[in-house]
Amino acid sequence: MVSKKVLKNIGVFAMAVMLAAAPVLAVSANGSSFMRATEASDPATSDPTTSDPKPVASPVSTTAKTTVTNTATLRKNPVISAAGDKLVSSVDGVYDAKSVKGVIVATLKADVLAAFGAGADAAVVVDVHESNHGPAAERSINDGLAILAANQVQAVKGPVLDINAYVNGKKVTDINAPINIVAGIPESFRQAGYEYAVILVQEGGRVSILTDLASFDTTLVSFDTTGFGVFAIVKAPAGSFDSYK
C-alpha cells in the first residue's frame, strides 16, 4: 500500500554558516555551507540493501549484508556546484553512483549523529550506488509519478540511486530528524526552465516526494530526508512542485 507521505522540508541545506572561521567550507550564494574536498575524510563502507558492490579488502566489522572497511578502501564522489566549489560528504561511506555528478551528505556530522540518535563515537556509514531495485520498487516509483500527475505535475524520471545508511553495522531505515543530501544533475538530464524533486521509495512501498532546496543552482538537487531506500530524481517545469514545499 503506497502512502502519500510528503516530507515538509525547511531551510536550504541543513548546515551551519561558517565563513572565515572555517576555511575548509564552501559557502553557497544563499549562505549555506558545504565541506570542501580538502577536508580530511572519515572513511568506511557498507553494503546497500538493493545492490551489492564488489567486496573490498580489510573489513573491520561485518554483519549480514553490511561490510564496514578501513580507510584504504573508501571512495567519495564530490559534487561540483555551479560556482565551481568542490563539495564532499560529511559522512563516511562509499559514494560511487556514476549516473549523477556526485552525491554528498551535506549536513554537518554532529547533526547527522544526532539525527541517527547515535553517540559521538558511533560509526555512521552511508552507501550510494546505482539502483538495482526490483519490479516492486519500480511500481512504487511509478506510483509516485502518478501521485504527481494527479496534482498536475508531469514529471520525467531521471537517475535512480540506492542510498542506504548504517550505524555500527546495523541498517537504519528511518531517522529522528532530516539530513540533507545533494546530488549533481548530469548534463543529459538538465533542462532550462525545469526544476527537480526526488521520489523516495522505502521498504513496504512507502513513497515520499522530496522537493529541491537548491533552486538557485540548477546543476544540483538538494533534498532533506528522514529515510533511506531507492531515490529517483525527477524533473518538471519550474513551479510544478510548489504545492509539495
In terms of pLDDT, which residue wins out, 112 or 31?
112
Give the residue with greater pLDDT, 62 vs 215. 215
Residue position matching grid coordinates 553490511:
66
Tens of pLDDT, residue by residue over 136-174, are 999 999 999 999 999 999 999 999 999 999 999 999 999
pLDDT tens for 115-143 read 999 999 999 999 999 999 999 999 999 99
Task: Note the pTM of the prediction, 2 decimals.
Answer: 0.73
Note the pLDDT of residue 96: 86
Q: What is the mean pLDDT of residues 182-210?
A: 97
Q: What is the pLDDT, as a whole number, of residue 38?
A: 31
Give residue 7's pLDDT.
Answer: 35
Tell me what percent of the residues of the chain surpass a pLDDT of 70: 70
Q: CA-to-CA distance for 91 and 105, rounded, in angstroms?
A: 6
For residue 243, report the phi and psi dihedrals to the nearest 5 degrees: -70, -10
- How many residues in the chain? 245
pLDDT of 205 > 80? The answer is: yes
Please compute Rg for the chain using Cα positions.
Answer: 17
Whether the pLDDT of residue 213 is over 50: the answer is yes
Domain ranges of the chain: 4-244
Cα 124–chain centre separation: 14
State how far the Cα of 6 lies from the Cα of 28, in Å rounded to an integer.
Answer: 26
Give the pLDDT confidence score for residue 74 in this predicted structure: 60
Res 194: pLDDT: 96
pLDDT tens profile 13-71 = 333 333 233 333 333 333 333 333 333 333 232 333 443 333 222 222 222 233 333 33
DSSP class per residue in 80-128: E-TT--EEE-SSEEEE--SSSS-EEE-S-HHHHHHHTT--TT--EEEEE
Compute the CA torsion angle 189, 35, 169, 224 (nearest 10 deg).
-50
pLDDT at 215: 86
- Burial class, 186, CB count within 10 angstroms (exposed 0-12 / middle 13-18 / buried 19+): middle
- Over range 203-227, report the average pLDDT: 95
User: Which pLDDT belongs to residue 232?
Assistant: 98
Average pLDDT of every residue of the chain: 77
**How confident is residue 110, by pLDDT bands cut at 50, 70 and 90?**
very high
Q: How far apart are CA 106 and CA 180, in angstroms?
A: 5
